Amino acid sequence: MSDEKKLTTRAADFSAWYNDLVLRAELADYSPVRGCMVIRPDGYGIWERMQRALDDMFKATGHRNAYFPLFIPQSYLQREAQHVEGFAPETAVVTHGGGKLLEEPLVVRPTSETIIYAMFAKWVQSYRDLPLLINQWANVVRWEMRTRLFLRTLEFLWQEGHTAHATHDEAEAEARQMLGVYRQFMESWMAMPVVTGRKTDAERFAGALRTYSCEAMMQDNKALQAGTSHNLGQNFAKVFDLKFQTESGGTDFAWNTSWGASTRLIGGLVMTHGDDNGLRVPPKLAPTEAVVVPIWRTDEEKSRVLGAAHALRTELTGRVRVHIDARDTMKPGAKYYEWELRGVPVRIELGPRDLDKSQAVLVRRDTRVKQPVALDHLAADLEALLITIQDEMLTAARKRREEHSVRGAITYDAFRQLMEGEGAFVYAGWCGDAACEAAIKDDTKATIRVLPDEEFRSPEAPRTCLKCGRPSTSEAVWAKAY
């Protein structure tokens, strides 16, 4: 076998493996513009399924979709002090339109808080108008210095939820609820386990009171921030004059939340589940859940096998998303490799010998285990198998994460060695001082990913700070991150 048909292995060069896989599996391609990417049909198909699942969850929690413009007056972005500081350096600015210099430059949205809350201010007068629960699916632009396919591109697709509430507690509950929605999606759809928790001030969203995050561990043991949810307090309401009359007749500024997840999730999917043979897509997100590879020698066998394949597809319609690979220019073996690269969860091998026995062979992409299945209950068996695969992918990913998570007393030297070496999620104490956090980042590149939520904390709370040895005020998850 020629080496150029193989992917770079993860062990040889994780970064090269990732690029190789994304390009070869045809998820995306580089565009003529630096830092931008084209999302190809196989990549976009996964995104569409992600969108559908998330959108259903947003609707189920009372949100409605709307769309706000791409262009934001530059002055809007400058109104909230922390927000400007956070985003001004990475905006693309339109200075000309129709060949003329604009009176006020327009910023291509890096995120839409400013324009959305400016609009909310027009729409909200009374506590009866609250809560206002809006989501938008959009593209945003952030002029990053260094880009990577899906993980960080100048333009990316995402959804951003924006809500307004009458009280702090309601906003807080909303921010937490949406973090839970993300977690639910990432675990049950993406089979990607996450640690949830609160961000430190250093990692907090520019302009937020509190930021919550879902952090996933990639196969190189680095963390990927997969989704964030912010309690914005009244910061934006105050600068955009988003006020309402309270039930008792007074006025108050609204309390906002915002939350987002992006096409970065596709990168997370690749780095969570991909292997040296290619992509592995969890069944629930796979545009094609099963591919039939028919096998034949003679024309007679060909028509017999394809006939059976079509009958199978008819039976599976509405139950399993299935594709028949009837190309006669490739041998079955070549097709196996191709569909493994593309990550289709189950392959159905169907040949004359199978038909003689009224069976087909199901091959799992995740484990590559083969099993013959009688044709008369293939549909039911396949459905069950897809559920098993979905479950076991999550279990396997969680096991890997736990194997690379370190809890309990650890010396700073041991921690540093770990971060310089194979990496890990290290659960350790933190004194709460931003200086310790910054010193560790300078030293090791590791950051506090989250101050984990209760269920992720260690049975015994750490007593001292990883860095300075003073009493710990909260447990922190440290890791290098994308």
Residue numbers at the binding site for RNA (CB under 7 A): 1-2, 4-6, 15-16, 19, 30, 33-35, 86, 89-90, 142, 144-148, 151-154, 156, 203, 205, 224-226, 228, 260, 262-264, 277, 295-297, 302, 328-334, 336-338, 340-341, 349-355, 361, 363, 368, 370, 445, 481-482
Residue whose CB is less far from RNA, 168 or 297 = 297
Q: Tokens representing 167?
A: 């009280």
Q: Which is nearer to RNA, 407 or 441 (CB)?
A: 441
CA distance 129 to 247: 11
The runs of H, that is alpha helices, within 106-159 are 113-123
258 contacts 227 by C-beta, under 8 angstroms: no
DSSP characters over 32-65: SSTT-EEEPHHHHHHHHHHHHHHHHHHHHTT-EE
Q: Minimum Å distance from CB 265 to RNA?
A: 9
Helix pair angle (14-24, 264-273), 10° resolution: 110
Nearer to RNA, 271 or 341 (CB): 341
**Minimum distance of RNA from residue 126's CB (angstroms):** 34
Q: Which is nearer to RNA, 354 or 437 (CB)?
A: 354
CB of 128 to RNA, least distance (A): 34
| Closest of 332, 338, 325 to residue 278, by C-alpha | 338
Smallest distance, Å, CB 291 to RNA?
12
Q: How many CA atoms lie within 13 A of 226 on its CB side?
A: 35
- Residue 88 or 379: the one with the smaller Cβ distance to RNA is 88
Residue with Cβ nearer RNA (225 or 256) = 225
Query: Is 15 or 184 the residue whose CB approaches RNA more closely?
Result: 15
The least CB distance from residue 199 to RNA, in Å, is 9
User: By C-beta, is 96 or 370 nearer to RNA?
Assistant: 370
Q: What is the DSSP secondary-structure string of 318-334? A: TTS-EEE---SSS-HHH
Work out how close the CB of 348 gets to RNA at its nearest, in angstroms, rounded to a whole number. Answer: 9
Beta bridge partners of 36: none
- 62 to 65, 164, 185, 189, 256: CA distances (angstroms): 10, 13, 17, 21, 16
d(CA 439, CA 430): 12
Asked if 50 and 269 touch (Cβ cutoff 8 Å), the reply is: no
CB nearer to RNA: give 126 or 303: 303
Cβ contacts of residue 36 below 8 Å, gap of 6+? 147, 153, 154, 155
**Which residue's CB is nearer to RNA, number 119 or number 226?**
226
As measured in angstroms, the least distance from the Cβ of 130 to RNA is 27
Looking at the DSSP assignment, which residues form a beta bridge with residue 39?
Answer: 28
- Shortest distance (Å) from residue 152 CB to RNA: 5
What is the Cα–Cα distance from 390 to 188, expressed in whole angstroms? 8
Q: How far is the CB of 15 from RNA (least distance, A)?
A: 4
Question: Measured from the CB of residue 116, what is the shortest distance to RNA in angstroms?
Answer: 17
Taken in order 287, 275, 384, 295, the sign of the CA dihedral is positive
Nearest CB to RNA, comparing residues 185 and 253:
185
Nearest-10 Cα torsion for 39, 40, 45, 47? -10
Give the dihedral sign, CA 94/97/101/105: negative
Determine the Cα–Cα distance for residues 168 and 177; give it in Å rounded to an integer: 14
| Cβ proximity of 159 and 260 under 8 Å | yes
Residue 251 Cβ vs RNA, minimum distance, rounded to whole Å: 32
- Measure the CA–CA gap between 417 and 423, rounded to whole angstroms: 9
Tracing tokens 């370190």 back to the chain, one arrives at 406
